[in-house]
Structure 1
Amino acid sequence: MSPSSTNEPERQPAKSGERIAKLLARAGIASRREIERMIADGRIALDGRVLTTRATMLTSLP
């Protein structure tokens, strides 16, 4: 039986990395909650672009 003939949905690989708030908190910038508020206020940018979601995933700080 081939994988395409089963009724199970295809599994997507898990996203690697961690949310930006967690990495910035670990780096000592601010608490994770404070960073999430800063993102919501448009005060955090990545590569010159203001973040609009706190779900941004990074593998490490740039």
Structure 2
Amino acid sequence: MDILSFIAALVSSLAWPTAVTLIALAFRKEIRALLPFLRKLKAVNRPGFPGGSLL
């Protein structure tokens, strides 16, 4: 593998994680506002609660 192929493979493998991180940073206020709802959903989706999974 020559150096150009290596750099192309490296850039290719880092593109999606970088994009996801940048999007998360850009929308961190909105994501933080949704966290209480996600915690409530997580608590309701436990075994023993209506609609909770027993597996």
**TM class, shorter-chain normalised?**
under 0.3
Could you say which structure has the higher helix fraction?
A: 2
Name the larger-Rg structure.
2
What TM-score comes out, normalization by structure 2 length?
0.27
Higher RCO (C-alpha 8 Å, min separation 6): 1
